[in-house]
Amino acid sequence: MSTRDLDAAARTDPALTDPGLRAAFEQCRRLHAEHGKTYYLATLLLPPAKRPYVWALYGFARYADEFVDSLTHPDPQALLTWGDAFLASLDAGGDGTEPVGRAMAATMRRWDVPRAHVEAFLESMGMDIDVTDYATYEDLRHYMYGSAAVIGLQMLPVLEPVAPGAEEPARALGEAFQMSNFIRDVGEDLDRGRVYLPLEDLAAHGVTKEDLFEARRSGRITPGIRALLAFEVARTRELYAQAEPGIAMVHPTSRDCLRTAYLLYGDILDAVEAAGYDSLTRRVAVGMPRRLGVALPGLARAQAARRRERRWQTA
């Protein structure tokens, strides 16, 4: 499948005829398929020529994230070194030699992704080195601008907006995806010593950081913790509502990919609710039947949209 997709992209991007660059995109695809299964499934609804660039955007983010999020071999200094080397390669007008960075640089050129988005992303990844909590929601949003909102903005050129104003829904969707992950991954983040739920929200529900760590250890989820997570779920649903109009603002051949990701990430919140708001002692997930139930009809619609686009182009 990756060969076909890379061949399709190469028809309008001759750089992708280079074997080394193709191998770099394939490495990103493997990262995407292994670590971002829901997002990867949604990507299959895009036209083949666009898929490699999404692999690169995801692969770059995941590769950087692993430096600070690995539970077994974190290497924060390597993040700083790698990020500086990547930005230096952009300054030099080249791609460098590291495969993930090469694919990202090629994607930035093809879709005019602003360097400022990448700088903001690397800044937020650097915050994960020594920032372990956020006092307020606004503090968290500052972090999420670089770690999530700019991911939505990086994706936007690939999805090809067809209406003005698509940037704000893209930012909101990036934040909604990340908040969904934060809510799902409370327990895993505690294992890294981090609490991404704002401390002001904990206090409002009579919960302390120590309560969260104790619940992780003991498996006892208190009413206050359940109320806290219910509050975060409701706020994240508001972000999804802000993002939803953006689906109609991108090219018709991109909408079903975006809609599928929108629905399946939103389902994470339903899964947390169904687990009694216990995302501290278990890993909640959206089941494969639901994933396929959303993705397969979306695939049929996406294929129909591509056929209509081809007919329009040849008319």
What is the domain-level CATH number for residue 201?
1.10.600.10
Asked if residue 215 lies in contact with residue 303, where contact means CB atoms within 8 angstroms, the answer is no
**CA distance to 170, 248, 249, 277, per residue, from 244 (Å):** 9, 8, 10, 25
**CA distance to 76, 201, 281, per residue, from 215 (Å):** 28, 17, 8
Q: Are residues 97 and 156 in the same domain?
A: no
pLDDT score of 299 = 79
Q: Is the pLDDT of residue 1 over 60?
A: no
Q: Are residues 305 and 274 in the same domain?
A: yes
Q: Are residues 75 and 154 in the same domain?
A: no
- Dihedrals φ, ψ of 161, to 5°? -65, 140
Whole-number Å distance between alpha carbons of 66 and 74: 7
Q: Are residues 175 and 106 in the same domain?
A: no
106 is in which domain, residue-wise? 1-130
Q: Which of 98, 15, 94, 96 is nearest to 53 (CA)?
A: 15
First-to-last alpha carbon distance for the chain, in angstroms, is 29
Q: Are residues 40 and 142 in the same domain?
A: no
Question: Which has more confidence, 1 or 124?
Answer: 124
Q: Cβ–Cβ contacts within 10 Å for residue 193, how many?
A: 9
Q: Are residues 71 and 103 in the same domain?
A: yes
| Across 139-150, average pLDDT | 97
pLDDT score of 40 = 92
pLDDT score of 26 = 96
Per-residue pLDDT tens over the stretch 99-113: 999 999 999 999 999
What secondary structure letter does DSSP report for 162?
A: -
Q: Cβ–Cβ contacts within 10 Å for residue 85, how many?
A: 13
Q: Is the pLDDT of residue 62 over 90?
A: yes
Confidence of residue 314 (pLDDT cuts 50, 70, 90): low
Single out the residue in 67, 96, 130 at which a domain terminates: 130
Q: Is the pLDDT of residue 28 over 70?
A: yes
Q: Is 32 helix (H, G, I), strand (E, B) or coil?
A: helix
Q: Are residues 141 and 108 in the same domain?
A: no
Confidence of residue 118 (pLDDT cuts 50, 70, 90): very high
For the chain, the average pLDDT equals 94
Farthest CA pair distance, the chain = 66
Q: Are residues 22 and 149 in the same domain?
A: no
Single out the residue in 108, 130, 152 at which a domain terminates: 130
Q: Are residues 140 and 253 in the same domain?
A: yes
Q: Which of 133, 9, 108, 10 is nearest to 57 (CA)?
A: 108
Question: Which has more confidence, 301 or 240?
Answer: 240
pLDDT score of 192 = 93
pLDDT score of 313 = 66
Asked if residue 57 lies in contact with residue 154, where contact means CB atoms within 8 angstroms, the answer is yes
Q: Which of 103, 113, 108 is nearest to 16 (CA)?
A: 103
pLDDT score of 295 = 84
Extract the tokens encoding 314.
């040849």
Per-residue pLDDT tens over the stretch 157-199: 999 999 999 999 999 999 999 999 999 999 999 999 999 999 9
Enumerate residues 6+ apart whose C-beta is below 8 A from 175: 141, 144, 148, 149, 152, 239
Whole-number Å distance between alpha carbons of 147 and 304: 34
Q: Are residues 119 and 198 in the same domain?
A: no
Q: Are residues 203 and 138 in the same domain?
A: yes
Whole-number Å distance between alpha carbons of 12 and 47: 13
Single out the residue in 82, 115, 130 at which a domain terminates: 130
Q: What percent of the chain has pLDDT over 90?
A: 83
Q: Are residues 230 and 89 in the same domain?
A: no
Tell me how many domains the chain contains: 2
| Helices 51-69/115-130 angle, 10° precision | 20
**CA distance to 128, 133, 277, per residue, from 200 (Å):** 20, 11, 19
